[in-house]
A and B are shown apart, each in its own frame.
Chain A
Amino acid sequence: MIQKNEAVVEKYSKATRILHHIHTAAFIILFLTGLVLFIPQLGFLAQDSWTRILHRIAAAIFIVAPLIYLILKPKAAIEALKEAFTWGKEDIGWLKAAPRYYFLSDEEGMPPQGHMNTGQKLWWFIVVVFGAFIALTGAVMWFLKTIAPAAVLQWMVFAHDVAFIVMGAMLFVHVYLGVIHPMMTEAWRAISKGTMSEEYAKSHHGLWYDKQMKKDNEKGK
């Protein structure tokens, strides 16, 4: 699909992509090793504790990787966080237009989006807030097992599970939208190669594209 000499823009830096992949891998491991405990028939996989050890290694990576990114690329990280948690009228517009957009490929009502569209902002919300929450409850179960009161641990198990369900379901959505959804033709390319076509950028991240162009032009002067 990608044509030679096609006009491209850089969507994700190399560092960002590495972080994404590591985080994704960790999350999938966490998801699968956690899922084992959800399905009694798969319980045997966990019997010698190796899934727990894997889960904990993945958990450490899941928590530490973004922190390393934060240290190495503080500007980009803070910018991204800022964008993810800053909502404007285009987001309201996105929410209104999203059903038609995603089901009927109707792009008409979709207002131009920034570097992150609202859907991605929502995903960020899930990753950051639920991620912190699941990490915290997990840490209690890891380090305070048999030390914390049983009632606290009971609630930790409960809360960890709720977070797991939400994050797990949203992971499906994220992967689906990024890789499978018919409209999202270049999302995968963006996160794997870092670039996307100007065309795609214009249509899916109009605001950002415009801003980017403006910046380039200013640089060009």
Chain B
Amino acid sequence: MADKAILYDATRCTACRGCQAICKEWNENDEIIPTKQNGVKSENRGSNENPKDLAPNTWLKITFNELEHYGKVDWLFNRRACMHCTDAACVKVCPSGALYKDEAYGITGFNKDLCTGCGYCVEFCPFDVPRLEGSTILGKTKMSKCVLCTQPSLNRLDAGYEPACVKTCPTDALLFDDREKLIAIAKGKVAALQAKGFTNATFYGEKELGGLHVMYVLNDTPDKYGLPVDPKFPATATAWQDIIQPLGWAVGGLTILGLALNYIIAREAKMTKAIPGKKEKK
């Protein structure tokens, strides 16, 4: 099956945040939402943007960014959630197979049951997306992130629907379709933006990390939207997973092999020396 993807057109997004709300509702991340009444008060921090950051119960949030560009004040909105990278560092470092590349859709799937809560994905994600729920001090944790509405029993994709965020978008700023189709659409959009005078307009996500499954149409460079300009698969992940871990197995294996060999030789040697040994003992 062809890879699926989301195309987020920031120039169409009105930051109504229907996606942010429906994400919580559909994925049942709404059991504890901060309110004054339950003691974890949500506060206005001098911005329309809230909550402050992605969280185990906030898989998707819209960011608000005020700036001046193209000679005037602008208010840029952006969508923060899992990018579903093709070369997913989180999958690479996940020790239990909880994170995996979904073969049907190309997205970065997550089997929460298998999650050990090690948090390696949190550290190695080039987009700082996964979040740990529970106490990292006590150590009883699980990771949590957008799974593009593929949670068991809440799986929209398998049922033939688009993800909830896409469904709720009133301006079609979010599209869900075959990745290849969306790439063509996005290129057209960026060309149109550039023709309109947005000379820095960018299509983001086609090549990054082997191709993201959440792609962006931006009217300026990615940094203006708070996106890493050139996200890289972390070298430490490669060094760790592709060099150190195999090396570890090699070292471990060779050690045991060596010891076994030693045992055979040393035992043999000791046997043959049994007589001089006796002599010595005298």
Contact = CB atoms under 8 A, between A and B. Distances in A.
A46 interface: yes
Interface stretch (A5-13, A14-22, A70-78, A179-187): A179-187
Interface string A69-107: 000000000000000000000000000000000111110
B282 interface: no
Contacts of B262: 102-103, 176, 181
Contacts of A145: 119, 122, 132, 136
Interface string A166-182: 10110011001000111
B41 interface: no
A138 to B, nearest CB: 11
Given A40-B95, A47-B96, A105-B266, A143 B248 contact: no
Contacts of B98: 43, 47
Nearest to B134: A49
Given A38-B245, A102-B262, A169-B255, A182 B123 contact: no
A111 B217 CA distance: 75
Contacts of B118: 37, 46, 52
Contacts of A164: 248
A141 B124 CA distance: 13
A153 B119 CA distance: 10
A172 B256 contact: yes
Interface string A121-157: 0000000000000000000011101100011011101
Interface string B145-173: 00000000000000000000000000000
B255 A173 contact: yes
Nearest to A54: B139
Given A53-B140, A172-B256, A105 B122 contact: no
B244 A165 contact: yes
Q: By DSSP majority rule, is chain A's interface helix, strand, loop, or mixed?
A: helix
Contact of A165 (B137, B251, B273): B251
User: How extensive is the interface on chain A, given as a class?
Assistant: 35 or more
B266 A47 contact: no
Contact of A157 (B96, B114, B123, B247): B123
B263 interface: yes
Contacts of B281: 199
B267 interface: yes
B69 interface: no
Interface residues of B, number: 50
B236 A102 contact: no
A162 interface: yes
A143 B96 contact: no
Given A49-B140, A52-B139, A157-B120, A176 B240 contact: no
B263 A38 contact: no
A161 B245 contact: yes
B97 interface: yes
A56 interface: yes
B123 A103 contact: no
Contacts of B142: 49
Nearest to A57: B139
B139 A53 contact: yes
Interface string B80-93: 00000000000001
A101 B97 CA distance: 45
Contacts of B96: 37, 40, 43-44, 46-47
Interface string B223-256: 0000000000010110110001101100110011
B65 interface: no
B240 A157 contact: yes
Contacts of B119: 141, 145-146, 153
B30 interface: no
Given A38-B248, A43-B116, A52-B118, A173 B124 contact: no
B259 A176 contact: yes
7 contacts: A43-B97, A53-B138, A53-B140, A104-B269, A105-B270, A161-B245, A161-B248
Interface of A: 36-38, 40, 43-44, 46-49, 51-53, 55-56, 102-106, 141-143, 145-146, 150-151, 153-155, 157-158, 161-162, 164-166, 168-169, 172-173, 176, 180-183, 199
Given A52-B118, A155-B236, 9 more contacts: A46-B116, A56-B139, A106-B269, A142-B136, A145-B119, A145-B132, A158-B240, A169-B251, A172-B256
